[in-house]
Amino acid sequence: MHSFNKSGRIIITCSKGNAPSLQKEVEELGYKLKDFFQTGIQLSGTLNDCIRLNLNLRCANHILFSLKSFECRDAAQLYNVVSKDIQWENIIDESGYFSVTSNVQNETITNSLYANVKVKDAIADRFMSIKNRRPDSGSKTDKIVINLFWKNNQAEIFLDTSGETLSKHGYRKIPGRAPMMESLAAATILATNWNRTAPFINPMCGSGTLAIEAALIATNRKPGLYRDNYAFMHILGFEDTFYVKEKIFLTEQILDIAGLIIIANDISEDAINIAKINAGAAGVAELITFDLNDFNEINIPVEKDGVIFFNPEYGDRLGEEPALEKTYREMGDFMKQKCKGYSGFIFTGNLNLAKKIGLKPKKRIEFYNGKIECRLLEYELYDGSRN
Ligand SMILES: C[S@@+](CC[C@H](N)C(=O)[O-])C[C@H]1O[C@@H](n2cnc3c(N)ncnc32)[C@H](O)[C@@H]1O
């Protein structure tokens, strides 16, 4: 049985651009970072720490726990080390199920699926020689997941303690048109430094992701409240005592924020209906005011430190660029005239259109929506005569 209390190397992966927000979250949980990469961070901890991280993190994709790091020139060496140096019979139940995922950049390997098969064979053959029986394997990632990271001549085998990605937060019943991934929405909100008590206005809410994530962040509702299966549960040695305690703690941590203002507005009735359903599934519908309007008609509450966060279409997947130029210009005018005292944010993947906003951004933060390079643009909307 594998020990859940033995310390090791943990890598938390995330989408490009999300790492600074992920770092904030991990540090808020009391962990110290050992390293920081473009698509993840490294720290030390146990499998029990992996459980806590899986339940709590909004901006992560996978929590990986290192089993072995080794020099590896080719597939034969990979097979050798994986079959001999890791006691798989202490990790995977012989009647269980596992899958192998990988990230491979080695000149002897042209297809990473081949590396996956080598790892799978190595595990299966070890089981056959020791137990004369082997666990099932395949592509489903809802049980044990073994991850291979192999770059040049250095390889590392991890237990992917998440299995299915953490980037989906489990409440989105209907995606709507061009929705933001939940982890990206959370990462952009954390990047705004919103104080979690002032108004959060989302004038083009679509399926509601940003408004819902804002409500989840403000009330300290963590993604683990919405998910019941993780890969760590299938590792031999998993006892649910720690998990159940952590899960109860998630419920106890929920905050009741009296008077919190979150507005989710859209011009499309379908979008508003979908946003309401998704917010209901997340248990935060009553915290959000839903409005069906052109954003130009929104009444912005007069409050200090509010955040107004636009995620307009950007011409790649929806709408055409020329028609959108007017919308971008109007967003700039609206923020300048009606949102004084707020911090304004526009998240877009179209930097040409962003120029039409007509305000000078105070900050441009790089994010990625899948493969599309995006920017979160911040505008300081001075109260009084400065604007
Ligand atoms: C890219 S989508 C937003 C996606 C959203 N962030 C999500 O995660 O689902 C842009 C939204 O802006 C809305 N929209 C476009 N023009 C608008 C306007 N003038 N006023 C309000 N909403 C508008 C569209 O109906 C669409 O739902």
Instruction: Please write the tens of the pLDDT for every residue from 89-115.
Output: 999 999 999 999 999 998 998 888 999
- Cβ–ligand 1 distance for 310 under 6 Å, the answer no
- Give per-residue pLDDT as tens, 174-230: 887 889 999 999 999 999 999 999 999 999 999 999 999 999 999 999 999 999 999
Q: Are 60 and 159 in contact (CB under 8 A)?
A: no
236 in any annotated domain: no
Q: Is the pLDDT of residue 386 over 50?
A: no
- CATH number for the domain including 128? 3.30.2130.30
Dist CA 332 CA 346 (whole Å): 9
- On whether residue 354 sits in a domain, the answer given is yes
Same domain, 141 and 262: no
Could you give the percent of the chain with pLDDT greater than 90?
Answer: 90
Asked if residue 245 is part of any domain, the answer here is no
User: Which letter does DSSP use for residue 367 in this model?
Assistant: E
Q: Considering only CA atoms, which residue is closest to atom 5 of ligand 1?
A: 206
pLDDT tens sequence across 143-157: 999 999 999 999 999
Scored b (16 or more CB within 10 A) or e, 73-108 reads: eebebbbebbbeebebbebbebebebbbbbebebee
Q: Are residues 44 and 110 in the same domain?
A: yes
Q: Report the mean per-residue pLDDT for the chain.
A: 95
Pairing type for strands 288-292 and 262-266 reads parallel
Q: Considering its fold, how many domains does the chain have in total? A: 2
Atom number, ligand 1, closest to the C-alpha of residue 275: 9
Determine, yes or no, domain membership for 171.
no
Pair (143, 203) in one structural domain: no
Residue 336, phi then psi, degrees to nearest 5: -65, -40
Residue 207: which CATH number? 3.40.50.150
pTM above 0.75, yes or no: yes
Nearest atom (ligand 1) to Cα of 206? 27
Which range of residues forms the domain containing residue 366?
182-220+256-386
pLDDT one-digit tens code per residue, 9-23: 999 999 999 999 999
Claim to verify: residue 156 and residue 186 sit in the same structural domain: no
Residue among 220, 213, 161 at smallest CA distance from 185? 213
d(CA 271, CA 207): 6
Structure tokens, 92: 């995977």
Residue 369 in contact with ligand 1 by CB distance below 6 A: no
pLDDT value of position 189: 98
Is any ligand 1 atom within 6 A of the Cβ of residue 311? yes
In terms of DSSP bridges, do strands 97-105 and 144-151 run parallel, antiparallel, or are they unpaired?
Answer: parallel
Whether residue 124 lies inside any domain: the answer is yes
Helix, strand and coil percent figures for the chain, each rounded to 5: 35, 25, 40
Pocket test for ligand 1, best of 201, 216, 267 (most atoms within 8 A of CB): 267
Q: Is residue 235 part of a domain?
A: no
Cα of 14 to ligand 1 centre, how many Å? 25
